[in-house]
A = this chain, B = another copy of it.
Amino acid sequence: MLRLSEWLEDALLRLNQTNSLQRKEGFTRLCFSEDERKSHKEFRRLAKSLHMETREDEVGNQWALLKSPGAKRTIAFGSHLDTVIHGGAFDGVAGVAAALALVYKLQKNQNQLNCNIVIIAFISEESARFGLSTIGSKTIAGRVDKKKWEKLYDDQGISIKEAMEAYGISWGTFDQAYDIPYKIDEFIELHIEQGTQLYKRNLPIGIVKGIATPKRFKLTVKGQANHTGTTSMKERKDALVISATLIQFIEERARKADLRNMGEIVATVSKINLSPSAINVIPGKVELFVDLRSADESLKDAFMKDLLAYIEGLSREKKVVIEHQVFVDEEAVTLDEDIQKRLKASCEELGLAFLELNSGAGHDAMNMAKRFRTGMIFVPSVDRISHHPEEYTPLLFIEQGVLLLERYLRQIEEDEE
């Protein structure tokens, strides 16, 4: 029989349909694509090889079940199999492969468990194709908004509805995936960190406390367009110059909060539109798109309060109108405290150093947390690179994650004894 690390590597290769986990062009498995389908098919094959029962739900999520005689509960693990364009081999896949490897290890050692194990390979977690993320887990969590979703198109002009139906999913009934095939008691996702906190401190495990969901808003500065040559400096209402002040305020306000709170809030002006946008015209109107994240809603609220007060003062001082419009406002997610406690105890038991941290990025776990007791662990990303062909997490780190999940299952049993 293969060693755990060998089996894990094989699973990673199979799920990525590749001979090498580091390829120059990376991996492109967009949501509802043939490539995503192939990876899901591979998942079913691997699960079956582990004697698991498999099911595909109405939205295309894969479910695999390992039954234990006399099980008192069902613990679910999993992550997603799709990628961004030219992404890496680990974002998502690492979590699915780790869950499968956990089952492999349990079976190899002929361990008796008092719980059933479910593995979920969520469909379409990345927003790369339609600007909509975590489609599979949103559907499980009952967070489908068909009216909004049906307006989403990819770069080829294909609607999400068309893409789903081409994939074999019924637009009319996909939300029935809310009725899950196997009842589960809790869900734990293993994922690569995609940040720097673990790798640079040489810590193998991150225990996620909360997930910083984004608040996204647009600021519109309404200055006055004029000829760049004939308008003296003091006559101007240059919307871009006023925007520069806003960009700096947003950066500095987040930086200050960040220094005090250890990386708990981030704010970014990530897009900007000028109107007009011509070399000889002073920008009259500027739109700034801001992405604000924290796992702590009160930090976001305090940030917005300060920003709006600043905008009011700036607007008065510069005699311009500055409007703001929120277009995404997801409540931050706090993960289950009992699961965190047990994960910590398990780390200590195994002698694995860990860090408690928040996730800056969104994950399937944030939707699962709306419906189930949910936990999440991170394994390090080398040099924090992610969504890129050079994304890399050594097998050893994923294997340590598998050991932690195994220990976690024992911990439940021990806690009950």
Contacts and interface: CB of A to CB of B under 8 A. Distances in A.
Contacts of A68: none
Contacts of A270: 228, 240, 274, 277-283
A346 B22 CA distance: 80
User: At the interface, is chain A mostly helix, strand, loop or mixed?
Assistant: mixed
A325 interface: no
Interface stretch (A168-176, A244-252, A347-355): A244-252
A362 B228 CA distance: 11
A387 interface: yes
A111 to B, nearest CB: 35
A248 to B, nearest CB: 5
Contacts of A36: none
Q: Which of A226, A283, A362 has the most CB of B within 10 A?
A: A226
Contacts of A226: 384
Nearest to A361: B229
A291 B282 CA distance: 9
Interface stretch (A2-10, A74-82, A192-200, A335-343): A192-200
Given A247-B241, A271-B278, A277-B270, A255 B229 contact: no
Interface stretch (A101-109, A145-153, A261-269, A398-406): A261-269
Interface string A374-386: 0000000000101
A360 B227 contact: yes
A9 to B, nearest CB: 26
B231 A258 contact: no
A254 interface: yes
Contacts of A212: 229
Contact of A360 (B194, B230, B244, B267): B230
Given A234-B255, A244-B244, A244-B248, A214 B280 contact: yes
Given A227-B360, A230-B195, A247-B241, A280 B291 contact: yes
Contacts of A266: 228-229, 231-233
Given A270-B280, A291-B280, A360 B229 contact: yes
Given A270-B277, A279-B270, A386 B244 contact: no
A272 interface: yes
A244 B274 CA distance: 14
A228 B268 contact: yes
Contacts of A195: 227, 230-232
A272 B274 contact: yes
A235 interface: yes
A255 B231 CA distance: 12
A126 to B, nearest CB: 11
Interface in A215-241: 216, 226-235, 238, 240-241
Which among A193, A238, A258, A279 has the greatest number of chain B C-beta atoms within 10 A? A279
Contacts of A281: 270
A248 B279 CA distance: 18
A201 to B, nearest CB: 13
A231 B289 CA distance: 18
24 contacts: A193-B230, A195-B230, A196-B232, A214-B228, A214-B280, A226-B384, A228-B270, A229-B359, A229-B362, A230-B359, A230-B384, A230-B386, A232-B360, A234-B255, A240-B270, A244-B245, A244-B247, A244-B248, A244-B251, A245-B248, A268-B282, A270-B278, A270-B279, A272-B274
Given A229-B266, A269-B283, A272-B274, 15 more contacts: A194-B227, A214-B228, A227-B361, A228-B270, A229-B359, A229-B362, A230-B359, A233-B266, A240-B272, A241-B247, A244-B245, A270-B280, A270-B282, A271-B277, A279-B291
Interface of A: 127, 193-196, 212, 214, 216, 226-235, 238, 240-241, 243-245, 247-248, 251, 254-255, 258-259, 263, 266-272, 274, 277-283, 289, 291, 293, 359-362, 384, 386-387
